[in-house]
Chains A and B, each alone.
Chain A
Amino acid sequence: MTVTRTESALVDDLLDGKHRALARVITKIENRSPGYREIVSALHAHTGAADVIGITGSPGAGKSTLVDKLAKAYRDRGDTVGVIAVDPSSPYTGGAVLGDRIRMASNVGDMDVFFRSMSARGTLGGLSTATSDTVKALDAFGKDTVIIETVGAGQNEVDIVKTADTVCVLVQPGSGDDVQMLKAGILEIGDVFVVNKADMDGAERTVAELEEMIHMRENPAAGLNTGHHGPVDEEEMAQVAIDDADEATWDPEVVETVATDATGVEELIDTLDDHAAWLRETGRIDNKARTRYAEEIRQLVRSDTAALLEEVIEARGGIDALADDVLAKETDPYTVADELVAPVRECVDEELER
Chain B
Amino acid sequence: MSTQEREEGRQIRCLIAKVGLDGHDRGAHVISRAFRDAGFEVIYSGLHRAPDEIVQAAVQEDVDVLGISILSGAHNTLVPKIVDGLKEYDAFEDTLILVGGIIPDDDRDDLLEMGVGAVFGPGTPMEKTIEFVRENVHDRE
Contact = CB atoms under 8 A, between A and B. Distances in A.
Given A122-B3, A122-B6, A123-B3, A95 B42 contact: yes
Interface residues of A, number: 38
A254 B22 CA distance: 41
A96 interface: yes
Given A20-B91, A98-B42, 15 more contacts: A20-B89, A24-B62, A30-B11, A31-B9, A31-B10, A33-B10, A95-B36, A97-B32, A97-B33, A97-B42, A99-B43, A101-B61, A102-B44, A121-B11, A126-B7
The 4 closest A-B pairs by CB, nearest first: A102-B46, A95-B36, A23-B62, A109-B52
Chain B interface helix/strand/loop/mixed: mixed
Given A26-B62, A90-B36, A94-B1, A108 B50 contact: yes
B53 A108 contact: yes
A93 B44 contact: no
B36 A93 contact: yes
Contact of B59 (A23, A108, A117): A23
The range of chain B's interface size is: 35 or more
Contact of A116 (B33, B45, B60, B90): B60
Nearest to B86: A20
Contacts of A188: none
A101 B43 contact: yes
B77 interface: no
A89 interface: yes
28 contacts: A6-B141, A19-B60, A23-B59, A27-B13, A27-B62, A31-B11, A32-B7, A90-B36, A90-B37, A93-B36, A94-B1, A94-B6, A95-B40, A97-B42, A99-B44, A101-B43, A101-B57, A101-B61, A108-B50, A108-B56, A115-B60, A116-B60, A116-B61, A121-B7, A122-B3, A122-B6, A123-B7, A310-B4
Given A30-B11, A108-B53, A95 B91 contact: no
B112 interface: no
A31, A90, A122 interface centre (most CB from chain B within 10 Å): A31
